[in-house]
């Protein structure tokens, strides 16, 4: 059993290893010019320099913390806004018919328009940069959060609701003690989707013109011809996206653990 898992793990590494070796070889031989694809060694050096500024290999040496902080703040704020609206509205439409019939059609109508399609009008409304980015992130992340919270709340087993009611739950306590906990798996899935989309729209917003942010570095580096500094922020965005997802999942696990501990 464990041996089999080990084998499949190995198989999963073959393709990335081949790609890496090929990448290394083509850049080593100089078959592909460095201004199109930098060598992995060079990329790692620039990445470390971006983080620490040890050799100032590029004009961006040592600026990672400032750019990453700007990006993380935008994601946190945009995602926070999306969750602040998406969760309560989702739970309400999932349970209350009046809320569903008055809100749901409009939300789904707006949802049909791809998020990217909002970019030009957002630039007209909010100008290039900060607010536009926030608007795009919040708007795009709202939909999966809302839809999944609603789906989770509406599919709570009617028997659980009956159990709650006969044990003395009022309409409000039923919401907080039965419906929301029962809707949690779907809700967390929605939050994770929303967080992933937040990072995607963050990059879109930052590409359009902010001073600080990983997306801004990529666009700036493209104009200045630093191809490594286009790729390096991509890697850090991927890492930050993964870390933020782990933190999100972890905090819900922690919540469960806290619940388990609190009863002693």
Partner 1 sequence: MRSMHDAKLLADSISKSYSRPGEKNFLKVLDDIRFHIRESEFVSILGPSGCGKSTLLNILAGFETADCGDVACCGEPVKGPSPERAVVFQSPVLFPWLDVKDNILYGLKLKKEDRKESEDLASVYIKAVALDGFEEYFPSQLSGGMQQRAALARALVLRPKVLLMDEPFASLDAQTRYSMQQLLLSLHGKYRHTMVFITHDVEEALLMSDRICIMSKRPGRIVEEIDVPFERPRSLSLTSTQEFSILKTKIIASLMG
Contact footprint for partner 1 (CB under 8 A): 157, 159-160, 162-169, 173, 177-178, 181-182, 184, 256, 259-260, 263
Query: Which is nearer to partner 1, 90 or 164 (by Cβ)?
Result: 164
H or E segment and range at residue 190: helix 180-207
- By beta-carbon proximity to partner 1, the closer residue of 182 and 197 is 182
* Contact yes or no for 68/214 (Cβ under 8 A): yes
Q: How far is the CB of 140 from partner 1 (least distance, A)?
A: 30
Which CB, 37 or 160, lies closer to partner 1? 160
Place of tokens 């599919």: 155
Which of residues 30 and 168 has its CB atom nearest to partner 1 in the complex?
A: 168
Nearer to partner 1 among residue 94 and residue 215 (C-beta): 94
DSSP conformation letters of 61-107: TT-HHHHHHHHHHHHHHHHHHHHHHHHHHHHHHHH-HHHHHHHHHHH
Output the smallest distance, CB 88 to partner 1, in A: 20
Asked if residues 192 and 48 have their Cβ atoms less than 8 Å apart, the reply is no
Distance separating alpha carbons of residues 179 and 171, to the nearest angstrom: 10
Nearest to 87 by CA among 157, 143, 164, 169: 143
Task: For the CB of residue 168, give the shortest distance to partner 1 in the complex, in Å.
Answer: 4
Please report how close the Cβ of residue 94 comes to partner 1 at its closest, in angstroms: 17
- State the Cα–Cα distance between residues 229 and 223, nearest whole angstrom: 11
């Amino acid at each position: 059993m464990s041996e089999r898992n080990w084998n499949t793990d190995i198989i999963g590494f073959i393709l990335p290893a081949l790609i890496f070796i090929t990448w290394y070889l083509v850049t080593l031989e100089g078959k592909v010019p460095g201004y199109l694809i930098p060598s992995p060694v060079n990329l790692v050096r620039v990445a470390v320099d971006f983080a620490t500024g040890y050799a100032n290999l590029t004009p961006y040496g040592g600026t990672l913390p400032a750019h990453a902080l700007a990006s993380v703040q935008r994601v946190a704020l945009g995602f926070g806004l999306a969750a602040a609206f998406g969760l309560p509205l989702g739970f309400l439409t999932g349970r209350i018919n009046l809320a569903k019939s008055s809100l749901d059609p409009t939300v789904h109508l707006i949802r049909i328009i791809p998020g990217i399609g909002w970019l030009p009008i957002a630039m007209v409304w909010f100008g290039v940069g900060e607010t536009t980015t926030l608007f795009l992130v919040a708007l795009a992340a709202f939909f999966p959060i809302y839809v999944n919270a609603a789906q989770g709340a509406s599919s709570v087993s009617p028997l659980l609701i009956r159990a709650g009611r006969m044990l003395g739950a009022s309409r409000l306590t039923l919401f907080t003690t039965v419906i929301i906990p029962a809707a949690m798996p779907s809700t967390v899935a929605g939050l994770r989707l929303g967080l992933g989309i937040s990072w995607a729209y963050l990059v879109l917003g930052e590409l359009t013109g902010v001073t600080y942010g990983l997306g801004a570095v990529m666009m700036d580096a493209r104009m200045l011809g630093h191809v490594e500094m286009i790729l390096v922020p991509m890697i850090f965005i991927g890492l930050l996206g993964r870390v933020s997802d782990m933190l999100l999942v972890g905090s819900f696990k922690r919540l469960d653990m806290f619940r388990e501990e609190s009863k002693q």
